[in-house]
Amino acid sequence: MYGVHKVLGIEGGYRGFYARNTIPLTPKVVNDIHKRGGTILGSSRGGHDTSKIVDSIQDRGINQVYIIGGDGTQKGASVIFEEIRRRGLKVVVAGIPKTIDNDIPVIDKSFGFDTAVEEAQRAINAAHVESESIENGIGFVKLMGRYSGFIAMHATLASRDVDCCLIPESPFYLEGPGGLFEFIEKRLKEHGHMVIVMAEGAGQELLSESIHANDQQDASGNKLLNDVGLWISQRIKDHFKKRKMAINLKYIDPTYMIRAVPSNASDNVYSPSLHTVQFMVQWQGIQASQLALLMEDMLTYHSGG
């Protein structure tokens, strides 16, 4: 179709261009991948060597490159395109926004996000059942969300069982009037139980101040986050122990479970529509583009000639 005779999958992220073998992506190979979780190609942090990547593209005779990933990955795709253009190669580069956190600017939804929110419901429901089953029960769920709380907030809105949702975009404090501890005590006295949902990036500044954490980074340059969920859970227990008020807190961390499941029906419909439009865009000869869903309309942003 579209004159494409061979499709290769690059294993292990950017370094796979020059450090690993490729996988032929035939219809038989990809026939049922939508029924699996994760990625058949694998992923990695770092490994972006622009010169080696473009050398590999040139040596293999590749003329279309589709790069799936978040902010860092798309920045890398832009650099690759600039190097391809500098060399005068006839290669199309397409960036396909993909992040479980759904925090890429401009787009409304990244594929996989609906699946993650749906799976998060299981953890929230378990927390709700546990909290209801014992006096002064607190169900505490930590979800993904490094710099944004889209998963936590959407899961909270969908659940309707959550009393408190903590996200990076909305700073909070623990003690004093209007603090988290005061809210928890008020809620327990009124209802006898409650559910808290927290994005992993929320409250990081509180933990850093407490333990004097170092600003360590991973291979992609992202700041390594401390487990703020466990820390706040312990702070809650310590606070109410001092108050001589018995509580029963159950901490649930489904962080990686929510992105390891097969995609749901919504994402199974959304993803093919993305790749169909993207192929049409490249077929028309646009050299660099990025495809996204914005306000329920399929839009394509392109740069270069």
Which position has the token pair 């990955």?
73
- What's the average model confidence in pLDDT over 140-144? 97
> What are the structure tokens assigned to 200, written together?
């992993």
The pLDDT, as a whole number, for residue 145 is 92
Report the topology of domain 116-259. Answer: Rossmann fold (3.40.50)
Report the topology of domain 8-110+263-303. Answer: Rossmann fold (3.40.50)
Eight-class DSSP state of 263: P
The pLDDT, as a whole number, for residue 302 is 45
Is there a shared CATH topology between the 8-110+263-303 domain and the 116-259 domain? yes
The pLDDT, as a whole number, for residue 220 is 54
Catalytic residue check, 101? yes
The pLDDT, as a whole number, for residue 278 is 54
Residue extents of the structural domains in the chain: 8-110+263-303, 116-259
Q: What are the backbone angles phi and psi of residue 69, rounded to the nearest 5°?
A: 165, -175
Q: Which of 202, 192, 129 is nearest to 159 (CA)?
A: 129
The tens digit of pLDDT for each residue in 187-242 reads 999 999 999 999 999 999 888 766 655 566 555 556 667 789 999 999 999 999 99
- Per DSSP, the residues of 156-214 read HHHHS--SEEE-TTS---SSSTTSHHHHHHHHHHHHSEEEEEEETTTTHHHHHHHHT--
The pLDDT, as a whole number, for residue 289 is 47
Rounded distance, CA 178 to CA 135, Å?
24
The tens digit of pLDDT for each residue in 244-301 reads 999 999 999 998 889 888 888 888 888 777 666 555 555 555 444 444 444 334 444 4
> Rounded to two decimals, what is the model's pTM?
0.81
Q: Which of 101, 103, 114, 267 is catalytic?
A: 101
Rounded distance, CA 255 to CA 145, Å?
9
